[in-house]
């Protein structure tokens, strides 16, 4: 296998995930987070099922595993996307990306609780550094809040939902491919969102005339961020392993920050930038230790 293709695939998938924060911000100018996530999931599961059909990779779900799909989809995409989107609506794209990037830092602690996996000193240091970095990016130099505390709270709820989701993903990944898992979880997630969408937003969207950019951004969220990015990342971890592949996830907030600067005109103080660097360092420390343990086989 040409390693250059693998690394290009990794960069492209991280680029799509980084841009997802920008695309969401653009769509939020017209649609609520609830409507955005609902249509994002529909576009994604349709895209994934088409890919599975064309590749003839259908996998039958065992009856005894349906509860895993139902519960895992409740945490991600349902709770995760709900909290992330409502947090992103109130917090800048770059800050949101850096907070979400702390998911690998918290994961070892839930793994310790559920699977009795060891929590190392590096994990603890990584957690502390990441927390310090977050304080740097949500506060200004005069200690006034740079970001909405409610928005930050929503984003941390998204982080915890994602961490709990890993427990179920670990079980499912031993039996099914990433495409099968993601496609069914996105479909189930859309079903979870459906009654809320009908009750809160369905009657209002007919009067909304989104811009061409917003429509493109919504389609991009479903096709590129929630479908192709996962496909590319699956290709990456298949060839270089999830331990090395996970290091690329540090690029997500970097791409998000650069795109937010040029597309959304977001600006940062020196303190905010220092906080971003500290978060990346903290996440990297945690992943160095995680690399030594058995990884989830997607």
pLDDT digits (tens, 9 = 90+) for 121-177: 777 787 788 778 877 777 766 656 667 889 999 999 999 998 888 778 878 888 888
Tell the burial category of 43 from Cβ atoms under 10 Å away from its Cβ (0-12, 13-18, 19+). Answer: buried
Q: Which of 190, 181, 155 is nearest to 69 (CA)?
A: 181
User: Mean pLDDT across the stretch 172-187?
Assistant: 90
Locate the domains of the chain by residue range: 3-290
pLDDT-above-70 percentage for the chain: 87
Q: What is the pLDDT of residue 285?
A: 73
Judge contact between 72 and 121, C-beta under 8 A. Answer: no
Structure letter (DSSP) for residue 145: B
The per-residue DSSP string of 199-222 comes to HHTHHHHTT----HHHHHHHHHII
What's the pTM value of the predicted model, to 2 decimals?
A: 0.86
Rounded CA-CA distance 143/66 in Å is: 48
Give the tens place of pLDDT for each residue, 143-155: 566 678 899 999 9
Mean pLDDT in residue range 270-286: 81
Specify the pLDDT at position 184: 96
Residue 241's pLDDT is 63
């Amino acid at each position: 296998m040409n390693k250059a293709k693998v690394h290009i695939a990794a960069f492209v998938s991280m680029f799509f995930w980084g841009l997802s924060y920008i695309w969401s911000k653009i769509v939020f100018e017209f649609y609520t987070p609830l409507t955005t996530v609902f249509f994002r999931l529909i576009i994604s599961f349709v895209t994934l099922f088409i890919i599975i059909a064309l590749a003839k990779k259908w996998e039958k779900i065992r009856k005894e595993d349906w509860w895993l799909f139902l519960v895992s989809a409740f945490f991600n995409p349902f709770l995760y996307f709900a909290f992330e989107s409502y947090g992103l609506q109130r917090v800048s794209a770059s800050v949101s990306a850096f907070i979400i990037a702390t998911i690998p830092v918290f994961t070892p602690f839930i793994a310790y609780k559920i699977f009795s996996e060891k929590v190392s000193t590096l994990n603890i240091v990584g957690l502390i550094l990441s927390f310090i970095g977050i304080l740097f990016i949500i506060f200004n130099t005069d200690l006034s809040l740079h970001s909405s505390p409610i928005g930050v709270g929503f984003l941390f709820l998204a982080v915890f939902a994602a961490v709990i989701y890993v427990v179920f993903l670990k079980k499912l990944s031993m039996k099914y491919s990433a495409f099968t898992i993601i496609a069914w979880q996105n479909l189930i997630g859309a079903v979870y969102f459906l009654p809320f969408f009908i009750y809160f937003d369905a009657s209002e969207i007919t009067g909304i005339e989104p811009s061409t950019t917003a429509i493109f951004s919504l389609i991009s969220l479903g096709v590129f961020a929630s479908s192709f990015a996962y496909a590319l990342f699956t290709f990456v971890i298949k060839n270089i392993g999830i331990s090395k592949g996970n290091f690329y996830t540090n690029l997500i907030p970097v791409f998000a920050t650069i795109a937010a600067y040029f597309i959304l005109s977001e600006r940062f103080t020196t303190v905010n930038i220092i906080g971003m660097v500290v978060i990346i360092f903290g996440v990297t420390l945690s992943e160095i230790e995680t690399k030594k343990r058995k990884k989830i086989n997607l």
